[in-house]
Amino acid sequence: MKQFSIFLLLASVLSTCIGPTSKPWKSIDLKAYGIPAVVLTPPDSTSVENFELAGVKDVSITSTGSTPYAIQIYSGKARGQKLVEQTFRQIREVYSNPDFGKIVEQHTDGFIYEVKGQGENRYSFRYVHLVRDTEVVFTTALNQRFSLEEVKKMYEAVKQE
């Protein structure tokens, strides 16, 4: 009986610590917007806007709910076939920003970086995906402030297989 009581107490503590289960994120296939990719978005409402200019497709996905989430996806003709070169080009572009802080995480296909801000720093990412002769670049939406944790979630949500 003592073991059973301990088991119930432990189960109660664990369920309290874990809390309510969150809804799984939903996937959005961007082929409908001419981009060969699928991204995950928060379960609360999202707004999708898209346009094309000079052969570059631009899709913005923003959470209209309580989850901090705003990504921008650019797609156009690839400037090469090597993923590392495309990622390095994105790094050079980010370095040219006078508010650039540092690279926090770096991978072959993308990176998370810090942007210096007035008061507190914010974080962003770039993720590169090549499909034949098409380059797809994912990033956080401009003029948005995100914590490192929020950016890591968005980075994972845009990763392609």
Neighbours of 109 (CB within 10 A): 17
- Whether 88 has a pLDDT exceeding 80, the answer reads yes
Task: Return d(Cα 30, Cα 38) in angstroms, integer.
Answer: 6
- Whether 31 has a pLDDT exceeding 60, the answer reads yes
Nearest to 111 by CA among 100, 99, 98, 124: 124
- Whether 102 has a pLDDT exceeding 60, the answer reads yes
What's the number of CA atoms in the CB half-sphere (13 Å) around residue 48? 12
- Whether 39 has a pLDDT exceeding 90, the answer reads yes
75 bridge partner residues: 57, 136
Give percent of the chain above pLDDT 70.
86
Rounded to an integer, the average pLDDT of 108-124 is 91
pLDDT at residue number 119: 77
Q: What confidence category does residue 6 fall into, taking pLDDT thresholds of 50, 70 and 90?
A: very low
Structural domains of the chain ordered from first start = 22-158 (3.40.1000)
pLDDT at residue number 8: 42
Task: Return d(Cα 78, Cα 87) in angstroms, integer.
Answer: 12
pLDDT tens, residue by residue, 103-115:
999 999 999 999 9
Q: Which burial class, exposed, middle or buried, applies to 123 when counting CB atoms under 10 A from its CB (0-12, 13-18, 19+)?
A: buried
How many secondary structure helices (H) and strands (E) does the chain include? Answer: 3, 9
Sign of CA dihedral 24, 39, 120, 44: negative
